[in-house]
């Protein structure tokens, strides 16, 4: 099985005539995804790779009946675009735009929570259930995606879009496949976290293990530890935390806006210790992940 998306997912792309969105649309279609409509105000009546373009979400909903949306608009336009999708109760919204203003991101997450809408991102490359569906640019072109992502029983949750693909590729090289992989986003405020997605993987009978990719900064690991300690989990969780070098190279920082180390407990070493306290396996090297998952 998969979580959040499957072969029947009908996708709406906001900002579809932009350069990045054109590429996302092509890659998603080539992988077999159902991109049913796009929206760019003032560009209604055009098409992108055969996908009709509308001026408003209301028009697109009337024609395409999408149940998932990709937001690929400039940062200052993300709030309005997402609010419009929430207003029409589109249940799954993936925001690929990065560096969305924090107040806007906070308001998006708050409204989505009230309306029971699932937000992935901002700064997400999307999600994929290999052999079934793909939402966003994760994995790149369809041929590359097929090489890296094989169907299987391991879920992936990653702060980095690129590392989502790298981990899937490492697993594939060792004969291990993926149930669903999610690029949760690298901005400071994101709509989904490790802890909020864990129950979805637990409810999937085909998922037997999870790999998480973390960075210094933020509280996602602490939230995951809290839920595992309080509720337990039947899934094996293997985590890799990038950024150990930061302790030896003061001043060096990751490019992601969310990788901000404000306290000692935000460091890679502190996070690793915290995860181990909950029984989560922490990989010292990226290449160790496949063997640790298979154990």
Active site residues: 256
CA within 13 Å, CB half, 283: 24
Query: What is the Cα–Cα distance from 37 to 88, expressed in whole angstroms?
Result: 15
Nearest to 72 by CA among 105, 119, 111, 39: 39
Query: What is the Cα–Cα distance from 214 to 221, expressed in whole angstroms?
Result: 8
Write down the residue that tokens 């976290």 correspond to: 193
Write down the residue that tokens 């590429």 correspond to: 23
Q: Taking a C-beta distance cutoff of 8 angstroms, is the pair 237, 280 a contact? A: yes
CA 263, 268, 270, 271 dihedral sign is: positive
Query: What is the Cα–Cα distance from 221 to 225, expressed in whole angstroms?
Result: 6
* Coil, strand or helix at 223: helix
Q: Taking a C-beta distance cutoff of 8 angstroms, is the pair 39, 56 a contact? A: yes
Nearest to 240 by CA among 207, 201, 211, 263: 211
**Residue 159 CB burial class (10 angstroms; 0-12, 13-18, ≥19):** buried
Both tokens of residue 146?
């097929």
Identify the H or E element spanning 294. helix 289-294
């Amino acid at each position: 099985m998969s979580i959040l998306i499957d072969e029947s997912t009908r996708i709406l792309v906001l900002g579809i005539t932009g350069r990045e969105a054109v590429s996302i649309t092509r890659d998603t279609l080539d992988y077999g995804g159902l991109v049913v409509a796009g929206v760019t105000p003032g560009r209604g009546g055009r098409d992108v790779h055969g996908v009709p373009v509308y001026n408003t979400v209301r028009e697109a909903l009337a024609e395409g009946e999408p149940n998932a949306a990709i937001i690929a608009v400039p940062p200052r336009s993300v709030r309005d675009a997402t609010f419009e999708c929430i207003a029409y109760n589109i249940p799954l919204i993936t925001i690929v735009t990065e560096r969305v203003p924090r107040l806007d991101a906070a308001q998006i997450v708050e409204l989505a929570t009230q309306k029971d809408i699932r937000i992935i991102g901002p700064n997400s490359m999307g999600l994929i259930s290999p052999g079934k569906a793909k939402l966003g640019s994760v994995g790149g072109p369809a041929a590359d995606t097929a090489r890296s992502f094989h169907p299987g029983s391991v879920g992936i949750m990653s702060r980095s879009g690129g590392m989502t693909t790298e981990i899937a590729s490492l697993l594939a090289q060792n004969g291990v496949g993926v149930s669903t992989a999610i690029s949760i986003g690298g901005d400071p405020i994101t709509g989904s976290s490790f802890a909020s997605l864990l129950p979805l993987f637990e409810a999937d009978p085909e998922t037997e293990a999870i790999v998480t990719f973390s960075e210094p900064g933020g509280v996602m690991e602490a939230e995951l530890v809290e839920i595992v300690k309080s509720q337990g989990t039947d899934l094996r969780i293997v985590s890799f935390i990038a950024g150990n070098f930061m302790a030896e190279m003061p001043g060096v920082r990751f490019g992601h806006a969310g990788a901000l180390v404000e306290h000692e407990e935000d460091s890679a070493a502190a996070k690793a210790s915290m995860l181990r306290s909950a029984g989560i396996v922490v990989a010292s090297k990226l290449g160790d992940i496949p063997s640790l998952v298979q154990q």
